[in-house]
Amino acid sequence: MHSIKELRKRLEEIAHLSSILNLLSWDRDVYMPAKGINRRSATIAELSTLIHTKFVSIDNNGLLTVLKKRVDQNKIRGKDAVIINETWRSFNKEKKLPEAFIRKLSETTSKAQDVWVEARKKNDFKLFLPWLTKIVELKRKEANYIGYKVSPYDALIDAFEPGMTAEEAYKVLSDLKDFLIPFIKNIQSTQTKRDPKILLGMYPLEKQIAFNHDVVSKVGFDLEAGRIDKTTHPFETSLHPEDVRLTTRFRENDVLYSLGSTIHEAGHGMYEQGFPVKEVGTPLAEPVSHGIHESQSRMWENVIGKGLPFWKYFYPRLQKEFPKPFKKIPLKTFYQVINNVSPSLIRTEADEVTYNLHIILRFEIEKEMIEGTINLKDLPKIWKTKMKEYFNIDVPTDALGVLQDVHWSAGLIGYFPSYSFGNLYSAQFYFAMKKAIPDIDKKIAKGDFREIKRWLNKNIHAHGKTYSADALVKKVTAEPLNSAYFIDYLKKKYASIAS
Amino acid sequence: MHSIKELRKRLEEIAHLSSILNLLSWDRDVYMPAKGINRRSATIAELSTLIHTKFVSIDNNGLLTVLKKRVDQNKIRGKDAVIINETWRSFNKEKKLPEAFIRKLSETTSKAQDVWVEARKKNDFKLFLPWLTKIVELKRKEANYIGYKVSPYDALIDAFEPGMTAEEAYKVLSDLKDFLIPFIKNIQSTQTKRDPKILLGMYPLEKQIAFNHDVVSKVGFDLEAGRIDKTTHPFETSLHPEDVRLTTRFRENDVLYSLGSTIHEAGHGMYEQGFPVKEVGTPLAEPVSHGIHESQSRMWENVIGKGLPFWKYFYPRLQKEFPKPFKKIPLKTFYQVINNVSPSLIRTEADEVTYNLHIILRFEIEKEMIEGTINLKDLPKIWKTKMKEYFNIDVPTDALGVLQDVHWSAGLIGYFPSYSFGNLYSAQFYFAMKKAIPDIDKKIAKGDFREIKRWLNKNIHAHGKTYSADALVKKVTAEPLNSAYFIDYLKKKYASIAS
C-alpha cells in the first residue's frame, strides 16, 4: 500500500529508535557508571546502524518514490506533502553515503577526538595535524558523495543549514564582521569599567539548582515534560516533545555561570517541547535547522535573559536568595557587569558581541580548509594572525587558540556558522515579536512570559520543518535573513548601557 | 556460514537491544518526566517487538538447526555447546507463541494492572475478577502453546525455573510448610518480646544514602560498574555486567527499611556483575533461573545481612552515623529486633521465616487456578481460610489479602515459588561456602567480604547458564536441592537468638 499512512508508520518506528539513541547519549553523560562506557559505545554504534539501515530502506516497494511523484503532480498537498518532500530530501542525501564511508568517518573522528584531547592538554598542534588532515580528506570526500555546485563547503553546511551555501554564509557573516570590528573597539573605549569579580560569592549547589528550576519553569519550560541534570558540558536533548532534557554545569562561586547556560538550553528545550506531539516522527515535529534552533536558545539567553526587563523581575529574587553579594550591588551595576564586552581567547566564554567574531574566524578558516586554499600545518599561524587582526589579542598557546574547540576533531565542519545565524535570527524574530506584543518589556519585567511563549509556539515551534529557514524567516518577519536587526539590537542595547 | 561466530554475532545484536530495553524501564521508573509515559510505553512495545522478531529469526538459513545437530553429534562441545543448547531451548519455546497471542496477553495485562490498582484501592475484588479470569484463560492458552506433560502449571513455572515441574515444586514446598507452621508457633511462644519501634528515629535522607553506598561497596558491589537510585518499588536491573543498577526506597524514620532492600538488590547486582564480560549476549552471561538469582539476593539480605557477624562489624558504624537511637541499644537487642518473627498480612513486609508461608499459600492457589480446580470467585474466601490455617490471622480486607500482589494482574503466574526456592538455595549454598571458608564468621565480623565474593563469583556467578539450577546445586553442594539446609539454618539461628 503506497499510502502516507504507511510512510508515517515507517517513520514512527525510526522515531522510537532515534529517541532511544538520545536517551543512550544522555544517560552516558549524566548517570552511566564509569565502566559502562565500552559497551555503551558499541550499543550506540549498533543502534545507529540499525536506524540508518531502516531509513535507507524507507523507499522499500517504491513507497516514497510513488508518494513523491504524487506530490510533484500536486495530488498530495499540505502537511502530507511536507512530510514526503522532507523525507525525500533526507533519504536522497543519506543514501548517497556508502556504509563503509560512514563507518570509516565514525571510527576516524572517534579516535581523532582522543588525540585532540591529548593534543590540547599537551598544547601540541603537530600531534593533532595528521588526524585533522584525515578528517578534512574524509569531509571533502563526503562533499563529493553528496554533491555541490560551487564549493564543497556547500555540501557540508547543508547538514546544519539546509539549502544554505558557502557564498550566502560568507556574505552575511562578512557584513557582520565589518560592523563588529569597529563596534567592539568603540565599546571598549566607552563602556564603564566594572570588575566582573564583584558578582562572585559562595553559592551552595542546592540553592543554585533550585534557582535554575525556578527561572526555567517561570519562563515556560515545562518540568513535567522535561528535567535538568548536571554534566561537565551543558546540552539539551529531546526524546520527543513530552520528554526534553537539559543539562547544566555549576561553579560554586558563580551563580550566573550555571544560570546562563540553563536559560540557553531551556530555549532549545522550549523549541522541542513546542513541536506537535501527534506529528512526532515526521518532519512536522523536527527543527528547521541548527540556526533556527540556536535562535531560540540565544533569544532566551541573550536578548531576553541579559535584558534589563528580565532582571527587573529576577534580580530581586536573586538578591533574596543570595543576599551576599547581590544585596549591595544595584541593578544597574549588575546589568552593566553581565553585559560587559571584552575580547577574549575562548569562544565558549565570550560575551554576546565578541562571540560572533569567534565564529566568523572559524568559518573563514574551515571554509578554506575544505576548499583546499590553505595548508593545514599553517593553521596555528593563521589563527594567531586573525585573532590579532579581529580582537587585537595575542594568542599565547595553541591550546587557547586553534585547539580549543571539539568540532573539527568530531568531523563537524560547517557547523560553526549556525551559532551566529542563531544570533541574527533571534534579533530579527524578536523585532517581529515586539511588534506583535508592544508591551513586551513591561510583561517581562512583571515576570509574565506567557505571551512570548505563545507567540514563539505559534509562529515558530508549531511548524516543525513545514518551512525552510529562509521561508520561515520571511513568513514571520516579512523579509529574508537580514543582519541589520542584530546590528541594530546591539547598537541600541550598548548605547543605552553606556548612557 | 553456519558458524558459532555467526550465532554469537546475532545474539550480540539482540543483547544490545535487550540492554536498551532495561535502560528504558529503569529510566521510566527513576528519572523520566511524568508526561513522557505515553510514548515511553509505545517505545518499549516497539523495541520488544523488534527483539522478538530478531530472536525468532535467529535460525535464518538454518543456522541454529545446523549447529544444534553438530552439538547432538558431539562435534561441538564445551561452552559453545552450552550457547547452542540454551539458545535452541529459548528459541523453540519463544517461536511457539504466535505474535497475535503475545500482543493480546500484553494488552490484557497492561489494562488488568490499572484495574488491579483501582480494585485494591477500593478493596473491590469483584472489579478485578473479570480481568483475572481473562488472564487465567490466556495463561492456560499459553501453557497449551508451550506444551506440558502433567499440569499446565509446568509450562508456566518453566519460565522462571527452567526444567522445574509443578509436582517437584509442590513436594519441596509442602515439606517446608510442614516444618514452618509448628516452627512459627513455637518461636512466637518462646522469643523475647521486643518492640520494633525502638529502632525508629529521624534519619536524614542524605545520610541514609551515604550509609547504603558504604555498605554495598563494602560487601562487594562495584559502584564503578553500577549505581543506586531512589524509586517507589526497589528493583535491580542490569544492562550488562559493567552497568548494573539498583534502586531502593526510603523511610525517613526507618533506616533499616532502605538498608534491607538495598542489600537484597545488591545481592542480585553482584550476581549480574559476576557474569563474564566477554560472553555478554550469550547464555554464558545469563542467570540460571529466578530461584538462583533470588538465592543471591536472599543470602546477602538474610543469611549474611541479618546475621550476628555482619552486625558485629556494621553496628558500630550504624551507631556512629546515627547515635540516636542506636547508641543506647545494645547489639544483642538490635539483633533480636531485626530478627523478630511475627505472622503478618503483607508478604513484602514479612520476616525471613513467615515469608515462605506467604509464598506457599500463593503457590497452592495459583496452581489450582491454572489447573481449574477452584472457582476464581472464591479466591477471597480461600485466601482467608488459608491465612487463618497457616498464620492464625484474620484477614480484614481483600486489599490486605488476595489483592495485595501485582503478580497475577501482570500475568506472572508461576513466579512466586522462585522466592522460596531462593531461600532454600541460599541456605544450601551458604552451607557449602562455610565448609570452604571455615572462618567465615570471623571474616564477616571484621568486614572482610572478599573471600565470600570470590567464592560466589567462582562457584555460581561465573558460570552463567552453563548448568541448570539442578546441576549447579549438585555441582556446588554435592546434592540436589534439599530444604533440610534451610530448615536447619532457621532452627540453629532461632535457637541461638532465644538462648
Domains of chain A: 1-95 (no CATH), 145-499 (1.10.1370.30)
| Contact across the interface for A227 and B24, Cβ inside 8 Å | no
| Contact across the interface for B31 and A33, Cβ inside 8 Å | no
Half-sphere exposure of B259 (CA within 13 A, CB side): 22
Please report the pLDDT score of residue B208 as a whole number: 97
Rounded to whole angstroms, how far apart are CA atoms A228 and A265?
10
Distance from CA of A23 to the nearest CA of B (A): 8
Distance from CA of B221 to the nearest CA of A (A): 12
From the number of C-beta atoms within 10 Å of its C-beta (0-12, 13-18, 19+), residue A5 rates as: exposed
Rounded to whole angstroms, how far apart are CA atoms B162 and B177?
23
DSSP class of residue B197?
G
pLDDT digits (tens, 9 = 90+) for B121-138: 999 999 999 999 999 999
Contacts of B280 in chain A (CB under 8 A): 39
Contacts of B46 in chain A (CB under 8 A): 13, 16-17
Say if residue B499's pLDDT is above 80. no
Say if residue B99's pLDDT is above 90. no
| Contact across the interface for B33 and A240, Cβ inside 8 Å | no
Contacts of A46 in chain B (CB under 8 A): 13, 16-17
Rounded to whole angstroms, how far apart are CA atoms B144 and B101?
12
Please report where in the chains the cell 515439606 appears, as a residue.
B175
Question: Which residues of chain A are under the pLDDT cut of 70?
Answer: none
Say if residue B110's pLDDT is above 90. no
Q: Which residues pair with B226 in a beta bridge?
A: B244
| Contact across the interface for B239 and A39, Cβ inside 8 Å | yes
| Preferred mutation among A18, A24, A39, A46 to probe B, highest tally of B CBs within 10 A | A39
Q: What are the distances in angstroms from CA B413 to CA A236, B165, B408?
A: 43, 14, 6
| Contact across the interface for B35 and A227, Cβ inside 8 Å | no
Q: What are the distances in angstroms from CA A35 to CA A32, A191, B242?
A: 8, 50, 6
Q: Which residues contact A294 (CB under 8 A, 6 or more apart)?
A: A418, A419, A421, A422, A423, A425, A426
Residues in A 219-258 with any Cβ partner in B closer than 8 A: 222-227, 239-240, 242-244
Contacts of B24 in chain A (CB under 8 A): 20, 23
Q: Which residues pair with B230 in a beta bridge?
A: B248
DSSP class of residue A412?
-
Is A29 in the B-facing interface, judged by CB distances under 8 Å? no
| Contact across the interface for B33 and A280, Cβ inside 8 Å | no
CB nearest A224 (choices: B34, B42, B223): B34
Contacts of B227 in chain A (CB under 8 A): 31, 33
Angle between helix B63-72 and B4-30 (nearest 10): 110
Task: Please provide the average confidence, as pLDDT, over all residues in chain A.
Answer: 96
Q: Which are the catalytic amino acids of B?
A: 265
Please report the pLDDT score of residue A174 as a whole number: 96
Cell, residue A377? 600545518
Give the residue on B whose Cα is nearest the Cα of A41: B16
Is B38 in the A-facing interface, judged by CB distances under 8 Å? yes
pLDDT digits (tens, 9 = 90+) for B405-455: 999 999 999 999 999 999 999 999 999 999 999 999 999 999 999 999 999
- Cβ atoms within 10 Å of B190's Cβ, excluding its own: 11
Is A22 in the B-facing interface, judged by CB distances under 8 Å? no
Distance from CA of A285 to the nearest CA of B (A): 14
CB nearest B227 (choices: A33, A46, A226): A33
pLDDT digits (tens, 9 = 90+) for B25-43: 999 999 999 999 989 999 9
Q: Which are the catalytic amino acids of A?
A: 265
The predicted model scores a pTM of 0.95
Distance from CA of A432 to the nearest CA of B (A): 32
Contacts of A225 in chain B (CB under 8 A): 33-36
pLDDT digits (tens, 9 = 90+) for B301-333: 999 999 999 999 999 999 999 999 999 999 999
A256-261's contacts with Cβ under 8 Å and 24+ in sequence apart are A256/A199, A256/A338, A258/A208, A258/A212, A259/A208, A259/A211, A259/A212, A259/A215, A260/A301, A260/A305, A261/A234
CB nearest B43 (choices: A20, A24, A39): A20
Percent of chain B topping pLDDT 90: 95
Please report where in the chains the cell 540499525 appears, as a residue.
A50
| Preferred mutation among A14, A23, A38 to probe B, highest tally of B CBs within 10 A | A23
Please report where in the chains the cell 512495545 appears, as a residue.
B45
Q: Which residues contact B185 (CB under 8 A, 6 or more apart)?
A: B392
Q: Of A61, A60, A64, A58, which is closest to residue A81 (Cα–Cα)?
A: A64
Cis peptide before B343 (omega within 30 of 0): no
Give the residue on A whose Cα is nearest the Cα of B18: A43
Please report the pLDDT score of residue A110 as a whole number: 87
Contacts of A27 in chain B (CB under 8 A): 23, 27
The more confidently predicted of residues A383 and B45 is A383
